[in-house]
Amino acid sequence: MREKVLITGASGFLGYHIINAAVKEGYEVYAAVRKSSNVKHLEHLSVNYIELDYKDGAVLEKLFEEKGFDYVIHAAGTTKANSEAEYNLVNNIYTINLATAAAKIKKTKRFVFISSLASIGPSKNAGETITESTPRNPVTAYGKSKLNAENNLKKLDIASTIFRPTAIYGPREKDIFIVTKTLCKGIDPYIGRTAQQLSFVYGPDMGEIAVKALKQTGGNFDYNITDGKSYSRYDYADIVKDILNKKAVRFHLPLPIIKAALFLVEKMNRAMNKVSPVSIEKLNELTAVNWACDISKAKKELGFDPKFDLEKGLRASVDWYRENKWLK
């Protein structure tokens, strides 16, 4: 009898890659989606669809009793919100409600939580690498909400694995993909002129390691996840331009001007009850000096061996975007 795994955030970019990896490993997959979710991209996979009420602990407990999930991979969350309270509700409280239900039923062997490197925060110094023991200093409400969830998860009586991926890109991703589309238009913009060390991880690599963690035994584990390399702020654009054989005008926008523009955008969006795609606070992450990571712990304990560095991953991504008409 196949083991059951509940995967949340199933309709999202990362959720797809986690589900794909779980199906390949032979798990019986339960994909948590909303009624409004578009799941056409999952139709070719053998999955069961399920809706979750993250607000109601009793309903969640009943669901765990009925379904008997052996594992949970919780990838659902929000990266955009208008308040710290909203970030905390979705990324912390909902996470803990789900994990608490699993812990009470006692059937679930491991709860895998997809957090974020933002829960640690960037390093202020070039040349350093962020490790699992780096002091926590999240610079956004998003990062703080993920850190709250991590701390609260560790208090529960359930075996857990926490992953803190850096910027995740790859087929189906939409946010970082905006950079690629901008480059296609011949524009290569940057905020300020401060040198940066950035890190990335390819979506399918993240999906595979999340599924691999289900077989861990023992207590609680946590890992920072990147492809193991560090990149300059220009490497992404330079690689994409080379792949597309395109030229783009590189220019730098002063930080004060960007802040002023985002202030107006946020104010208008709040008036219309909309969430801004980029906030002033988000600049704390986007302009940070150093997001380089040491992934030796994940390599040693999980055998993590990323198959894609940024160039290989971007080539595969561009091929997918072209094939699926996201890029012309």
Question: By 3-state DSSP, what share of the chain in percent is helix, strand and coil, each rounded to 5?
Answer: 40, 20, 40
* Cα 78 to Cα 36: distance, rounded to the nearest angstrom: 16
pLDDT at 283: 95
Q: Which of 282, 74, 233, 76 is nearest to 162 (CA)?
A: 74
Query: Is 120 part of any domain?
Result: yes
The pLDDT of residue 39 is 82
User: Around Cβ 304, how many Cβ atoms within 10 Å?
Assistant: 20
C-alpha distances out from residue 320 to 15, 196, 323, 324, Å: 17, 28, 5, 6
Average pLDDT, the chain: 95
3-state secondary structure 228-253: CCCEECCHHHHHHHHHHCCCCEEEEE
Is 114 within the bounds of a domain? yes
pLDDT surpasses 80 at 328: no
Q: Is the pLDDT of residue 191 over 90?
A: yes
Interhelix angle 235-244/310-323, rounded to 10 degrees, is: 50
Residue 254 lies in a domain: no
**pLDDT tens across 117-160, in order?**
999 999 998 889 999 999 999 999 999 999 999 999 999 999 99
Query: How much is the pLDDT for 154?
Result: 96
Instruction: Compute CA distances 137 → 87, 122, 296, 301, whole Å.
Output: 17, 8, 21, 25
> Which residue blocks in 68-176 are alpha helix, DSSP H?
84-88, 94-105, 141-153
Do the Cβ atoms of 50 and 33 come closer than 8 Å? yes
Domain that holds residue 211: 4-174+199-230+291-309
Q: Is residue 190 part of a domain?
A: no
Under a CB-based contact definition with an 8 Å cutoff, are residues 290 and 124 in contact?
Answer: yes
Distance CA 297, CA 245 (A): 38
C-alpha closest to that of 167 among 198, 191, 121: 198
C-alpha span between 254 and 80 (Å, rounded): 24
Instruction: Measure the CA–CA gap between 114 and 164, rounded to whole angstroms.
Output: 6
pLDDT score of 43: 84
Q: Is 167 a domain residue? A: yes
Confidence of residue 244 (pLDDT cuts 50, 70, 90): very high
**Per residue in 275-285, pLDDT tens?**
888 899 999 99
| pLDDT tens per residue, range 165-190 | 999 999 999 999 999 999 999 999 99
- pTM of the full structure: 0.96
CATH number at residue 166: 3.40.50.720
Does a structural domain hold residue 54? yes
What does the buried/exposed string (b/e) look like for 21-43 if buried means 16 or more CB atoms within 10 Å of the residue's CB? Answer: bbbebebbbbbbbeeebeeeebe
Instruction: Give me the percent of the chain exceeding a pLDDT of 70.
Output: 100
The answer to whether residue 129 is domain-embedded is yes
Secondary element (H or E) of residue 297: helix 296-302
Say if residue 287 is exposed, middle or buried (CB neighbours under 10 Å; 0-12, 13-18, 19+). middle
Count of domains observed in the chain: 1
**Count of residues for the chain?**
328
Is 180 a domain residue? no
